[in-house]
Structure 1
Amino acid sequence: MKTTTTFIERTDSTWRPRCVYWSPSTGDLLVGMYTIDTGKVTRYNQSGQLTQTIQYHNTGRGLYSIPRYITENNNGDVVVSDLSGAVVVTERGGRHRFSYTGHPSGSRLVPLGICTDALSHILVCDVITHTVQMINKDGQFLSHLLTKSQEMGESWSLRYDVNTHRLWVGSGSRDNKVCVYRYITRQDALTDEHRPLPDGDTRYTTPRQNKSHQLNENKLLF
């Protein structure tokens, strides 16, 4: 706590940092930044040196508008919740993999908090539907994990705890609370055993799993 490393020191007002994520696998710091009508993700090593900039699609157009939240998946993908109305996913090297814009296809998405879990699923808070949506690492919709409820209200931010396999969800400013949910057991994380339901949702099943621990459609159980 006695050492301070400066990663970004603004000398002008062109680019503004908006969100950060520290990578436990590489020790790098990922920073989402923005300027007028465009955004980018920068990567810094532990010494504070800029090592990568992710900004453009392979067609030359910009990938981001304003990165709101940023995280990293288990395979090294950089996952960004962007103001443009999309979850933008790139490979560690910066190549664009996909952009998720909601379910069903063509729906509006206003993404806020985002995280990934032990099974490499991407979880994102959506302001439009007031849900936490889960997609797989390749962008396929899997389930609505959490709908607007009396207990939660509007979900704005979230984080997955890799040690306890719990999902921490922060509500909007009017609700002013954090709720903790369980939808994966430790055995799920170790075996990656799950089966799709007919409606596209996912219920995790292991020999040790109890019904009260299963992910029911449209809600999470405490």
Structure 2
Amino acid sequence: MNQQTTTRERILREAERLFVERGYHATALQEVADRVGITKAALYYHFSSKAQILGDLLDPMTSELEQVLTDALDQQETGGVAAVRGTLVTGWLDVFLRYRNTLVTLLRELPATPSDSFSRLLRTMEYGIEVGAGEGAGIPERIAVAQAVSAVTDPVALMPQLSNEVLRDHLLAGVWRLLPESAPGARRVRGGRPRTVTEEAAGLARELYASGEHTVDSIAARLGVSRATVYRHLKK
């Protein structure tokens, strides 16, 4: 690992610590530089702004959430919505625990988060809720999955006195109370609208969405599939 990479990682590590200790707004770049043991000018060589630092802390977490979402989608054909939810919620909780300090900063400083990075995170989480709700899901199912996602997000940041191991066990127990059919050992039920579309239909969906004149709901209705199926093909 070269010196430039090492310095950049040290900046990110110390900035994250300061954001947790003092808050994003209250932390000056000079303080970050002092913690790392470099000049402020040297810090600017690696990062053009404090917002870029926060974005670089957030993006790796979002990438891991996206990978979990991809893994959850792979469960649709063989395990149904219950398997999708189990993979999604468990996987996302493990990501949030790994990025616990980043999550603390995010929840405290939402208005200050770089728009591109935060928008990407929101899109990922909204898509995850659609996928977790399942094919043909109504409002109750979507709300239940959204509650489950909140259940594995907020406590990770708001209960710093608890270890990751304790949090994980109790949070998953709470999630399975919200989504009992997705709990380990629960009977899996299949059903719902088609989970796949032809390549021609997928191309049409992307074309309609790109035009800006059609919503995901209207495209799903036109193709006879769920919103989650449309979202999956728009992502490709």
* Larger proportion of strand: 1
- Tell whether the structures are fold-level matches, with TM greater than 0.5: no
* Larger proportion of helix: 2
Greater relative contact order (CA < 8 Å, ≥ 6 in sequence): 2
Structure with higher Rg: it is 2
**TM-score, length of structure 2 as denominator length:** 0.28
